[in-house]
Amino acid sequence: MISVEEARARILAALTATPSETVPLPAGWGRVLALPILARLTQPPADVSAMDGYAVRAADVTEGARLAVIGTAPAGHPFAGEVGAGQAVRIFTGGIVPFGADAILLQEDAEATASTVLVKEAARPGRWIRRRGLDFAEGEEVLSAGRRLTARDIGLAAAANTPWLAVHRAPRIGILATGDEIALPGDPIPRGGIVSSNAHALAALVRAGGGDPLILPIAPDDSQAIAEAARAARACDMLVTTGGASVGDHDLVQSALGPEGFALDFWKIAMRPGKPLIWGRLGATPVLGLPGNPVSALVCSVLFLIPALDRLSGLPGAPPRTIRALAGADLPENDRRFDHLRATLQPGPEGIPLAIPFPLQDSSMMKTLARAEALILRAPGAPALQTGAPVEVIPLGDLGL
């Protein structure tokens, strides 16, 4: 058995980012930049007004002065002339400051007539003017390669005049559920069997992690069927199997994939839930073999599949984000397996949440898993803790998981 940290490190070390593709700007949201974005223009392209008012020469603008309004400069329609002594140009937010003007008289500080404006408050030179290039200059790198694009980044890329982006391809993840006992929802259920939940939960999780899931037909517990389905996944950036990873007689994934050229790296991790986890390679395709039971499969996904998706997507890949919480119940001493207790979060003292573990942590309970808001981390050999002691938790809510 290897540790959670070592397992994640080995998985990440074996993966590289997908090649890049060219997408139109609106398709870039959530994708990882493969090339930096350099601004194709200077923003603002000239000195512009930050407010609605009058472009003026500050020296003229004393309280009580009256200026002649000689034109207008709305955004997009620059004034072609020059502002001379005693003159003003009506200007609007984003309008280019005309030649000769060095300040903006706010409209609330002015009283307009048909062709003049009365100054009610003096203006300072440079005030309310946004200088050329205040935001960015042409040629400047505004977004770096390796960044997952937010909505704000899409806005910045647009402002920098970039209609196309080079982003890493969304990793295509083959998902293979195995087992004689499983049926698709709505299909007839074999006697003693259960409905397949892993494949669709994992597909949603892959989507939440920015990947592109490909659900392969359910493979019965039969070497040939598994091998055939696995061949279909060779076009994927990673194959995720579920079930068939434990030590029982019916653990066929390993034996089935062997003749197909499967090279095992490791298959046991010192953790709970989820000890049996296969990691290896089928030809060129990395294979992550998750445990068959849904809770173990999901916890392993949070710890290993999401970081793997990040790495394939062009990010470094990192352990899941943790936050500080307080134990909402007494916790027993832990054994040598890293434990992940399903818990709800409640507001606690001083803004630190209370993480309340479910009394029954059985790894078959989907309902408990769905209700959980966090996983309480219990390191190997962690001492017993009393209610209220600080603990580290992985919050599950924000990830769409």
Kindly identify the residues of this chain, within the stretch 205-264, that bind a second copy according to CB under 8 A.
Answer: 205, 207-208, 215, 221, 246-250
SS3 87: strand
- Least distance in angstroms from the C-beta of 206 to a second copy: 9
Interaction with a second copy in 142-171: which residues (CB under 8 A)?
Answer: 142-143, 149-164
Q: Interface mask (CB under 8 A) for a second copy, residues 301-320, using x and -? A: --------------------
**Calpha distance 113→312 (Å, rounded):** 64
Pick 282 or 298: Cβ nearer a second copy: 298
* Rounded alpha-carbon distances, angstroms, from residue 174 to 7, 205, 228, 240, 298: 21, 13, 13, 6, 16
The reply on whether position 202 binds a second copy by CB under 8 A is yes
Amino acid symbol at 124: R
The reply on whether position 127 binds a second copy by CB under 8 A is no
The reply on whether position 358 binds a second copy by CB under 8 A is no
Pick 108 or 121: Cβ nearer a second copy: 108
Pick 64 or 188: Cβ nearer a second copy: 188
Radius of gyration of the chain (CA): 31
- Least distance in angstroms from the C-beta of 34 to a second copy: 18
**Calpha distance 331→378 (Å, rounded):** 9
In degrees and rounded to multiples of 5, residue 190 shows phi and psi of -65, 155
Query: E-strand spans in 295-373?
Result: 323-327, 338-346, 354-357
Residue of 365, 380, 382, 388 that binds a second copy (CB under 8 A): 365
- Least distance in angstroms from the C-beta of 120 to a second copy: 16
Which tokens is 381 given?
């050999």
- Least distance in angstroms from the C-beta of 249 to a second copy: 7
Pick 74 or 380: Cβ nearer a second copy: 74
**Calpha distance 102→132 (Å, rounded):** 13
Which tokens is 399 given?
């990830």
Four-residue CA torsion sign, 215, 217, 219, 220 = positive
The reply on whether position 369 binds a second copy by CB under 8 A is yes
C-alpha 249, offset from chain centre: 40
Residue of 29, 58, 166, 270 that binds a second copy (CB under 8 A): 29
Residue of 55, 67, 201, 300 that binds a second copy (CB under 8 A): 201
Q: Interface mask (CB under 8 A) for a second copy, residues 278-297, using x and -? A: --------------xxx---
Residue of 136, 267, 279, 304 that binds a second copy (CB under 8 A): 136
Interaction with a second copy in 316-355: which residues (CB under 8 A)?
Answer: 323-324, 351
Collect all residues with Cβ–Cβ distance below 8 Å to 382 and sequence separation of at least 6. 331, 333, 334, 339
Pick 231 or 324: Cβ nearer a second copy: 324
Taking a C-beta distance cutoff of 8 angstroms, is the pair 372, 341 a contact? Answer: no
The reply on whether position 46 binds a second copy by CB under 8 A is yes
Which tokens is 39 given?
């601004």
Pick 24 or 64: Cβ nearer a second copy: 24
Around 54, how many Cα atoms within 13 Å sit in the side-chain half-sphere? 32
Q: How many residues of this chain interact with a second copy, rule: CB under 8 A?
A: 99
